[in-house]
Chain A
């Protein structure tokens, strides 16, 4: 496998993993959950 051609992909995966880790450390999944467990009035066209 030509690693050079996959370098951007590998870097992207590393960057994505880093961002996810930072987000989890900042408890961002909890914010996603808080928004998603209530019916979103804007989404359904009321708000």
Chain B
């Protein structure tokens, strides 16, 4: 059987290429200006990246909220709900370029690799705070400042670095904010050496949005109760620290299927046609503990 990790990496690579198909932009230092940018892509992919052929949903959301006369972003919210309804956080597992970058960095050997540590659970709430504060509240209160883009987004920083290399006029304008954003980018990339997808776990507001809909998205995880022997191998294999037997549709699950591969009984599948209630099983597990 083909390795599911390799298949997923191939899908991530193709998705990244498709979302950044304006390859000549990387050499010319010019961004794509065609009609494709009317549509938001599902993952975090800065629209100022020279390769981008679509728009970033988080940047677009802030565009509507930072106007002097705030516009309700029906279109962008509609697109986000659409991706959430069909895919949920499978977007993170398969389509987001920045998720792939972090995974590739984590493949580099490093003396410390740590996914489970004290404070991890509490830190997961940070992404919701960033979504509320930097993407919604602060942009509304301080007009014309898309806070997340300006002070945090590492995807935008990568775009800035590429543009600065190819355009000396842009390079000459870089200052303190750029330095701050590069520090954030380096911190995230360095953390990715140690922790699997730290940005996705703790910071990404787009991941926060999709996580809210993981329970109702069309793509869900199914654990066959009749096959599962409660060995715990799936939970151990999950780098997002989800226990798929207890919470198969946790907001943290990016549908990578590492758990399914680890399961000796082949009890875990992706199922879009039948959802089983696990509440009874949860009770049983709780009772056994």
Contact = CB atoms under 8 A, between A and B. Distances in A.
Contacts of A20: 74-75, 78-79, 82
B82 A44 contact: no
Contacts of B153: 43
Task: Assign chain B's interface to a size class.
Answer: 35 or more
Nearest to B37: A36
Interface in B168-208: 170, 173-175, 177-178, 180-182
Given A16-B81, A46-B177, A30 B38 contact: yes
Contacts of B82: 13, 16-17, 20
A45 B174 contact: yes
Contacts, number: 153
Nearest to B217: A9
Nearest to A1: B273
B216 interface: yes
A10 to B, nearest CB: 9
Given A16-B85, A19-B74, A43-B149, 18 more contacts: A12-B213, A16-B79, A23-B75, A23-B76, A28-B64, A30-B38, A36-B55, A39-B170, A40-B46, A40-B48, A40-B156, A42-B150, A43-B160, A44-B48, A44-B159, A44-B163, A45-B177, A45-B180
B85 A43 contact: no
B229 to A, nearest CB: 26
Interface of B is mostly: helix
State the 5 A-B residue pairs at the shortest beta-carbon distance, nearest first. Answer: A23-B75, A19-B78, A44-B160, A43-B156, A45-B178
Contacts of B47: 35-36, 40, 43
B59 interface: yes
Q: Which of A21, A22, A40, A44 has the most CB of B within 10 A?
A: A44
Interface of B: 31, 33, 35, 37-40, 46-48, 52, 55-56, 59-60, 63-64, 71, 73-82, 84-86, 145-146, 149-150, 153, 156-157, 159-160, 163-164, 170, 173-175, 177-178, 180-182, 213, 216-218, 273-275
Interface residues of A, number: 36
22 contacts: A1-B274, A9-B217, A12-B84, A16-B78, A16-B84, A16-B85, A20-B82, A22-B78, A26-B74, A28-B71, A28-B76, A31-B63, A36-B55, A40-B47, A42-B146, A43-B56, A43-B160, A44-B163, A45-B174, A46-B175, A46-B177, A46-B178
B25 to A, nearest CB: 11
Nearest to A20: B78
A31 B275 contact: no
B177 A18 contact: no
A32 B177 contact: no
B75 A28 contact: yes
A36 B163 CA distance: 15
A7 B146 CA distance: 35
